[in-house]
Amino acid sequence: MNLYIKRIFLASFFLFTFSCDDDFAELNTDPNKAGAEVFDANLILPNVIYNSGNNRNGYSGAVLFQVMWVQLMASTSTGGANYYSNADKYVASGSTNSYIGNFWFGQYSTSSRAKQLEKLATEKGLTNLASIGKIMQIQDIGFISDVYGDVPYAEALQADEGLTAPSYQLQSSLYPEMLADLETAILTLNDEGDKPTNDILYDGDISKWRKFGYSLMLKFASRLVKVDAATAQTFITKALNGGIFDSPEDDAFSPMDEANGFTNSTANAFNVVDDLYEVRWSKTFVDYLKATNDPRLTIVAEIPLAGLAGNKDLAAGDSDPALQLGLPNGFDLKGGATDVANAPGFPGSTGMGDDLAPIGNYSRPTAIYRNREVPTFILTYSQVQLLLADAAARGLTVPGSASDYYNEGVTAAMATLNKMGGAQINPTDASAYAIANPLDTSSSEASLKMINEQYWASTGMIGNFVEAWNNWKRSDYPVLTPVNYSGNFSGGKIPVRQPYPSGEEFTNTENYKEAIGRIGGPNDWTTKVWWDVN
């Protein structure tokens, strides 16, 4: 692992963001730089994997926007960490415009590296490595499209060919094209071909990359169930026939290497004392886990030590599930009508005087969320099983029942959570929980509610906050009550997209204006993406 990560530094000398392809010819001719004929394309792979996962964490946007939009967490956001007003209350802070573009620039940058990986690997006849590069491009641009809507895809990443102002592709054509390209890349994988080195995801195991590709296909196809059921069915069937994840052993996650500076950026945020104090699990989330005596509650939540100093201390708190209490979304510490002291069921403060902690009795994330070496989960077996349960509940053709997929997804989610460290849930307890809380099959809507609430909670607990938000948009579960805080930027609605970065208006003006025109108005937070329909 350390060897793989250290090699990222070497790769970084030869890779740049959107403009990297412009310098490619120079790299081939400058005798003082390694050209394509000597540079090992495998050196790029760990950089692509690490950044592809970690770009979607922490201050890149997830803890500033999605985790609280979808009411997994909450914040009073009026102390040292005022930037949480973006999330909990949909109120702009001084850096909101910067936050808007983080996913866009981070994931397109990583996609550009993956494109360079694909090109170099193709030149050297490394077919499997080239296919992996293509799969990673599709994953990252698909992520961008999920967040922003219509984005460059077919014309993206072509600066070296002179195309520096790509058009924004309609999602209605982007997703089918992306799925078809993904299928082509997967079919090119060959178990007898080159074995990628420096592979921090699957250690060069092509069979696992194939399963990852088909599982990714299943996830993207599932986005389409309400708007293009035929295409969704086609690619879900292709994914099943090709072979998806078989168990939690197939989970796709990017490992961390703190000693060499490669850390989980969400953990970095939660090690900041102001963030540590102000970020709490939400009432919506904690109530959901308590309603079924979910054994994961004691793993993920704790009541911190008493007083302000104790709340800012990294020491473990009390994880007794009976004590856990979620913070309602939308409250502050300003002393007015929305002060947390006026929240229903306010438990009182801890500490006194200068050591007063008004939110001290609310549950915060446990130490596993402050561990900088916790992996970034990209896609899990649990997600795949729950998406199959969703498909079955909607009447799509899949080989198993919604109940069986649901039960498997629940138990698998607990096995995946164990990979974050801390206290462990044993398989017997996980199975007992699933048996005690079977899927409600009284109606398709009852099933879809349970399935997608579980998806929301399970992805949230492993830090995949943006995916929890995306699936909430797709499924409309859980049912959430928006916050309507004074001065919010979304008209009291939960944001359903991030606006395009402001820089696009000046660097890709014509295509930007066309994209804005298609969504029918301002570059806003509440215009739904194509596949997000009721």
- Mean pLDDT for all residues in the chain: 92
Residue labelled with tokens 């009795």: 361
Of residues 95 and 401, more confidence is placed in: 401
Question: Which of the four pLDDT bands, split at 50, 70 and 90, describes residue 34?
Answer: low
Amino acid at 499: P
Please indicate whether residue 409 or residue 26 has the higher confidence score (pLDDT): 409
The DSSP bridge partners found for residue 418 are none
CA distances to 115, 141, 497 from 144, rounded to whole Å, are: 16, 5, 10
Residues 6+ apart with CB under 8 A from 316: 302, 366, 367
Rg (CA), the chain: 23
All structural domains of the chain, each given as residue ranges with its CATH number in brackets, are: 1-200+490-534 (1.25.40.390)
User: Is the pLDDT reported for residue 28 higher than 60?
Assistant: no
SS3 for 71? Answer: coil
Lowest mean pLDDT among 49-63, 75-89, 408-422, 455-469: 75-89
CA 519 to CA 534: how far, in whole Å?
A: 17
Q: What SS3 class is residue 357?
A: strand
What is the distance between the alpha carbons of residues 36 and 120, in angstroms, rounded to a whole number? Answer: 6
Q: Is the pLDDT assigned to residue 97 strictly greater than 50?
A: yes
Q: Residue 449 and residue 158: Cα distance in Å, rounded? A: 42
Cβ-contact 210, 189 below 8 angstroms: yes
Q: What pLDDT score was predicted for residue 2?
A: 43
pLDDT of residue 419: 97
Give the separation between CA 42 and CA 33, rounded to whole angstroms. Answer: 17
300-359 pLDDT, tens digit per residue, is 999 999 999 999 999 999 999 999 999 999 999 999 999 999 999 999 999 999 999 999
Are 118 and 133 in contact by the 8 Å Cβ rule? The answer is yes
**Do the beta carbons of residue 73 and residue 281 sit within 8 Å?**
yes
With a CB cutoff of 8 Å and minimum separation 6, the contacts of 191 are 206, 207
Whether the pLDDT of residue 80 is over 90: the answer is no
Eight-state DSSP code of residue 91: -
Average pLDDT over residues 467-491: 97
Residue 49 has pLDDT above 90, yes or no: yes
Task: Taking residues 139-166, report their average pLDDT.
Answer: 96
Name every residue whose Cβ is closer than 8 Å to that of residue 258 and which is 6 or more positions away in sequence: 372, 373
Strand partners, 281: 73
Q: Answer positive or negative: Cα dihedral of 255, 261, 265, 268.
A: positive
Segment 421-444 mean pLDDT: 97
Q: What is the pLDDT of residues 452-478, one digit of tens each?
A: 999 999 999 999 999 999 999 999 999
The whole-number pLDDT of residue 79 equals 67
Rounded CA separation 219/240 (Å)? 12
pLDDT tens for each residue of 229-279? 999 999 999 999 999 999 999 999 999 999 999 999 999 999 999 999 999
The per-residue pLDDT for 38 is: 67
